Amino acid sequence: MSLSIECKKRPENVKGNALRREGIIPATLYGHNGTESIQLTVDQKEAALMLRGVTVDETVIDVNIPDLSWNGQAVVKEIQAHPWKRNLIHLSFCYVKPEA
C-alpha cells in the first residue's frame, strides 16, 4: 500500500496556532534540496488518516507539493502532538533519495 500526502507552501507571517484553528497543520520538509528546508502546511484530516499507517523513520511516503511543482518521497521524522489531547501540532518530513 502506497501512502501519499499533498502539502502546500506555508504562507509567510502566519502563526502556527492560527493555522491549527483552521484545521491546517504546519510541517517541514528537510533535505529536499541539499541542506535546505521548506515550511509547509498539511490538512489536519488528511494527515491524521496518513499517520494511521506510518511508522516514524521507516514508512516511505509520496509527498506532493503542487505550489512548487515538486514530487518526491520522504519519511516522517517527527510527529508533535499535544500531550493529553493528542491534537497534531507539527510534522517533520525528511527527503529520501530514490534508489537507482
Strand order, beta sheet including 36-43? 3-6, 60-65, 70-81, 88-96, 24-33, 36-43, 8-9
State pLDDT tens for residues 11-55. Answer: 999 999 999 999 999 999 999 888 889 999 999 999 999 999 999
- Euclidean distance between CA atoms 31 and 18, whole angstroms: 27
pTM: 0.89
